[in-house]
Amino acid sequence: VAFAIGIDLGGTKIRGGLIGEDGEVAAVDERATDASDPPNSVLAQIVAMVAELGRGHDVLGVGVGVPGTVDARTGTLVQAVNLPMREIPLHELIATRLDADVTVGNDGNCAALGEHRFGAAAGTTHSVTLTLGTGVGGGIVADGRLIAGARGTGAELGHIVIERDGLPCQGSCPGRGHLEAYCSGTALSARGREAGFIDAHDVLARADARDARALELLDDLSGALGAGLVTLANALAPDVFVIAGGLGDAAAHLILPTAGRILREQSLPPNGEAQLVPATLGSDAGMIGAACLVLP
């Protein structure tokens, strides 16, 4: 079996794995992200992790998923989310430190690739994955290949407009009314606090206990997600939509029924027939998908 190393760089932790070409996770290494001196502190962690994971194995290459916009033509991290890094020639910096083939990509795109090849969308041709977490990301895979535009910076599915002049978006995004402003864990926590809850986790727990206000908040979130799915279904007509990410994994049973109904009722036929399913790789999706950037 051939192996690749996948690294999922996040704002709070770095998760790396030795991944077989059959999707097997042969080894995992996870560390708290050292953001003391980026990018150098982070690069040192990635190098140490690759050395640890690859020891004794013939490794085809290293894929790195990063939380931000990556220009695929140059491997430059244009701007990170949750890490103070911008305009960093990440591919060059990692490749010169490692004796290996290196590919750098967006974390949501990596999760989409992982779910497409080895997760909930395995066996399909066209899949679209949405990662609902602190923010909202995702990816589009067609015939096994990521579709992300001329520079690889597209497929930012959390930043499609679902409400003109709607809520301001999160982080450094200048937009308004984007999906992320309604469907992220951050958004659910904010709405939850306004309604007297502690955070998004509290809203989910109370929704499971059939609390009416919590269910109303999740109904709003599901409606926004459904609107996003209709837009994506009509633009891309995938076989399947996969809902991934920390919030997506925790809340799938609460939000997929309503979002799926809107997808079926409001898409131009037959685009609403796309399946809507929860992710299956959990927190390994980004790491496995990063390895898929270099697996044959």
* Contacting residues toward Zn ion, per CB under 5 A: 159, 169, 173, 175, 178
- CB nearer to Zn ion: give 156 or 284: 156
Q: Compute the distance between CA of residue 17 and CA of residue 4 in angstroms, rounded to an integer.
A: 8
How many other C-beta atoms can be found within 10 angstroms of the C-beta atom of residue 258?
A: 17
In Å, what is the CA distance from 175 to each residue of 87, 137, 162, 235? 21, 15, 11, 20
User: Least distance to Zn ion from the beta carbon of 140, Å?
Assistant: 17
- Provide CB contacts within 8 A for 137, sequence distance 6+: 106, 107, 108, 109, 111, 130, 131, 156, 157, 158, 245
- CB nearer to Zn ion: give 180 or 284: 180
User: Least distance to Zn ion from the beta carbon of 132, Å?
Assistant: 14
- CB nearer to Zn ion: give 102 or 169: 169
8 A C-beta contact, residue 149 and residue 178 = no
Q: Compute the distance between CA of residue 104 and CA of residue 99 in angstroms, rounded to an integer.
A: 15
- CB nearer to Zn ion: give 181 or 214: 181
User: Least distance to Zn ion from the beta carbon of 245, Å?
Assistant: 16
- Taking alpha carbons only, the member of 233, 215, 231 closest to residue 276 is 233
User: Least distance to Zn ion from the beta carbon of 63, Å?
Assistant: 26
User: Least distance to Zn ion from the beta carbon of 165, Å?
Assistant: 13
User: Least distance to Zn ion from the beta carbon of 131, Å?
Assistant: 14
User: Least distance to Zn ion from the beta carbon of 126, Å?
Assistant: 24
Q: 3-state DSSP call for residue 201?
A: helix
- CB nearer to Zn ion: give 235 or 268: 235
- CB nearer to Zn ion: give 4 or 179: 179
**Which segments of 100-144 are extended strands (E)?**
102-106, 126-132, 136-142
- Taking alpha carbons only, the member of 272, 194, 284, 216 closest to residue 246 is 284
User: Least distance to Zn ion from the beta carbon of 156, Å?
Assistant: 8
Q: What are phi and psi of 20, to 5 degrees?
A: -80, 160
- CB nearer to Zn ion: give 142 or 161: 161
- CB nearer to Zn ion: give 178 or 206: 178
8 A C-beta contact, residue 294 and residue 62 = yes
The secondary element (H helix, E strand) that includes residue 3 is strand 3-9
If you compute the radius of gyration of the chain from its CA atoms, what whole number of angstroms results?
Answer: 19
Q: 3-state DSSP call for residue 34?
A: coil
